[in-house]
Structure 1
């Protein structure tokens, strides 16, 4: 495969995979826009609930995302029966893990105040978690089928699945909001509605992803045996535990960032939530490119082509860097307009929150290149079955450098959320440097390659 064809394959695969990353972020963004009409306390409560939800969801999704990596490896070996065994094992794990995550989220929801948050904000955030908890199994099932579709000709169907999911969330949220607006209802009721509509959206996403898979060319294949299903589940767990641990460190880092912003005050937490929505959505392309890099490098490894895996990895990094540079420019140009869309004029406490959010968006634009590069390098390393290396980078960059520096600047130096995000930026740049070095070592130094 020539370099241009490899780059084209990465780009074409990254777009539908990036599209499937959007529904989770879009559900939170839609809720943030609606809650922004009620003022900073409502945004702060929704932001705290969303931070906890995304922490749990990201870990579970990362574990199940190994379905796609393992399926890609089997695809490289032309092992169709083995691919179906991976799918069946992934479905079983999605149901078990999703139910466990739902119960855990509902149980911890009443105890958010122990994180040092404003007691009223923590109490209101719990209602959002009660509503969103039932959606975990459906979210993980959607991720499972996404991984299978990524290695089949029907990849473009993922775009339709994502568009349908976002559309359903928007319609349900708007309808629920209008209905609640006809009566004098409390903020907890509105937050519960946001969570319930998100759960319903994940149910639609899982159903549509299953339908897209049913239309794929694998539906007529012979069903795998119970032994093949068990083997598939075992391999998913083996890959997924390392990925899940890395993601726990990564999302735990960003959850602690939200908690630190909350300790700076409700206005800082609200500004963090606003800026987070503005900077996170454009990053979906990097997440999609990370998944594409993991899929295609796994295929190359399964086909016994280390040269193809190496070239795919670095092509993905190059494309991601170019894209993130463009995203950074867009954020600087349109950041204030995005803040205005979330916090319209007349919103209680708007001016102070908007000013902090603008400072955070500028810091976020500075971090886009590093954040994109580290996510894509992480995906490539997972495709090369070297996910354990990413754990080391996460511990060093996030927890030994990022969090202490964010706490120092934000709380000790009195810079608030701005100081917290500055510490985050340093951590992200360190992570990018480490992961790119590890990727170079994995792809160019034969002694460091791990057989898949």
Structure 2
């Protein structure tokens, strides 16, 4: 039985057709992307707030919170990747003007969030025996367990937010995503301050207070987003909770078919940088500190092409849904130009004012910081070089997701990060003797390989049969 097809009206920002020029596409992409970029930066600020306030408690608490977060993040990031498949599917449904498919995809995305949370939370709650098997410090393990026992319950709202955010992104609701995310940052900082330290009559809960703040912030953001989707006129018509219990196994499987490779791709990249941190740990404390500074600078810059990549998924997905090869071409290359253009600016900044940037993290007046600052400035030079390829690979990966092409990019990413990047990092760092600089050059080589193959794949999308009819 075929789906009922209904015309879904769009706004000016999203109504660019194949006959529109590059200027119109640029405007539409920018209008969609800029709130997403700022929202990504704000999302990054959520974690930064936790780190700063736990640091005020002391290094032991910060170390325990870092251990717990390191354990949690691969599961959370993998789940976000899977549920993130809702974005291209909703965009394609909008391009095909199929309103019923939009509702069903979002509903099954929420189902996927429930299932993933139910599977992951029991694993997270076993942190103590897992850390014991890994030989972690017993005292730090106890503190990390205090955090995880509460923080694990953020899984469902955090993953459900991704499903609703995908709907808002596909239908021009990115400004509301920004507003809700900024509200979450403010709320998280306030609750952290009250519960970690016990101010204004609240109990002093330390690590547990930070975990409670994380869970409550995700619940708040999910509640605000769901309320907006259910009450705002443009989204109310989708009735995303209508017959919520009714399964749509075809779309449920489609989310996992497209989303699982996305999750594994993200995990492969996160794993590469985690492995690089462990390699730095073999070199010394100054190298680890310098690596953390350079990586924080690079990750903040990365939020911009990441936001543009999310916009590329929506724009390419819409064009794909309406069977518009020219729209796919324009939307993909426009996002690519914006992403690499921004990263060219950060490249110049890292190369020219790197020492000034790293001095924001460590006081240059303290003599003990001199070596770490010099190393960080050197690492930032290499980070500046890989800014271009980092921006290119993330936009290309997201553009391919708009075509529901995720399996082959996953394999290429794993190959690039683990068969190219990590071996080069080890060889240059330890065999050749370039130490931290060699490790960072390995990271750059892995990102460059992935960027080249993914951009090439998007360029050859027609020859590779990626534009087959939906």
Whether these two folds match at TM > 0.5 is: yes
Match in the other structure for 1:162: 181
**3-state SS of the aligned residue for 1:217?**
helix
For 2:42 and 2:429, the matched residues in 1 are separated by 31
Match in the other structure for 1:200: 216
Residues 33, 341 of structure 1: 8 Å contact kept: no
1:217 aligns to 2:234 (yes or no):
yes
Q: TM-score, normalised by structure 2?
A: 0.83
Q: 1:284-303 to 2 correspondence within 5 Å?
A: 284-303=303-322
1:437 aligns to 2:453 (yes or no):
no
Q: 2:443 aligns with which of 418, 424, 435?
A: 424
1:313 aligns to 2:332 (yes or no):
yes
Match in the other structure for 1:274: 293
Q: 1:65 aligns with which of 84, 89, 98?
A: 84
Match in the other structure for 2:348: 329
Match in the other structure for 1:244: 263
Q: 1:388 aligns with which of 388, 395, 407?
A: 407
CA positional deviation for 1:355: 3.9
CA positional deviation for 1:308: 0.9
Q: Structure 1 residues 13 and 285, CA, compared in 2 at 3 Å: closer, same or farther?
A: same
Residues 335, 358 of structure 1: 8 Å contact kept: yes
Stretch moving more, 242-251 or 31-40: 31-40
Q: Structure 1 residues 381 and 142, CA, compared in 2 at 3 Å: closer, same or farther?
A: same
Q: 1:365-384 to 2 correspondence within 5 Å?
A: 365-384=384-403
C-alpha offsets along residues 44-64 of structure 1, whole Å, 9 cap, x if unaligned? Answer: 655554444332222111111
Q: TM-score, normalised by structure 1?
A: 0.86
C-alpha offsets along residues 265-319 of structure 1, whole Å, 9 cap, x if unaligned? Answer: 4554444333322221221111111111111111111111112112211111111
Residues 37, 343 of structure 1: 8 Å contact kept: no
Match in the other structure for 1:172: 191
For 1:176 and 1:346, the matched residues in 2 are separated by 34
Q: 1:1-400 to 2 correspondence within 5 Å?
A: 1-35=20-54, 46-108=65-127, 111-112=130-131, 128-179=147-198, 190-214=206-230, 215-221=232-238, 223=242, 229-332=248-351, 336=355, 339-343=358-362, 350-400=369-419
Bigger helix fraction? 1
For 2:295 and 2:268, the matched residues in 1 are separated by 18
Match in the other structure for 1:402: 421
For 1:109 and 1:419, the matched residues in 2 are separated by 35
For 1:100 and 1:341, the matched residues in 2 are separated by 41
How many pairs align?
Answer: 447
User: CA-atom RMSD, angstroms?
Assistant: 3.4
Residues 196, 207 of structure 2: 8 Å contact kept: no
**3-state SS of the aligned residue for 1:442?**
coil
For 2:169 and 2:417, the matched residues in 1 are separated by 30
Q: Structure 1 residues 351 and 113, CA, compared in 2 at 3 Å: closer, same or farther?
A: farther
C-alpha offsets along residues 210-248 of structure 1, whole Å, 9 cap, x if unaligned? Answer: 223222523134536866643432221221122223223
Residues 124, 191 of structure 1: 8 Å contact kept: yes
For 1:119 and 1:295, the matched residues in 2 are separated by 46
For 2:57 and 2:117, the matched residues in 1 are separated by 32
For 1:190 and 1:339, the matched residues in 2 are separated by 30
**3-state SS of the aligned residue for 1:304?**
coil
Q: Choose 1 or 2 for highest CA Rg.
A: 2
Q: Structure 1 residues 382 and 426, CA, compared in 2 at 3 Å: closer, same or farther?
A: same
**3-state SS of the aligned residue for 1:247?**
helix
Q: Structure 1 residues 347 and 116, CA, compared in 2 at 3 Å: closer, same or farther?
A: farther
**Structure 1 runs not aligned, ≥5 long:** none
CA positional deviation for 1:371: 0.7
CA positional deviation for 1:142: 1.0
Q: Structure 1 residues 426 and 192, CA, compared in 2 at 3 Å: closer, same or farther?
A: farther
For 1:168 and 1:72, the matched residues in 2 are separated by 31
CA positional deviation for 1:120: 7.2
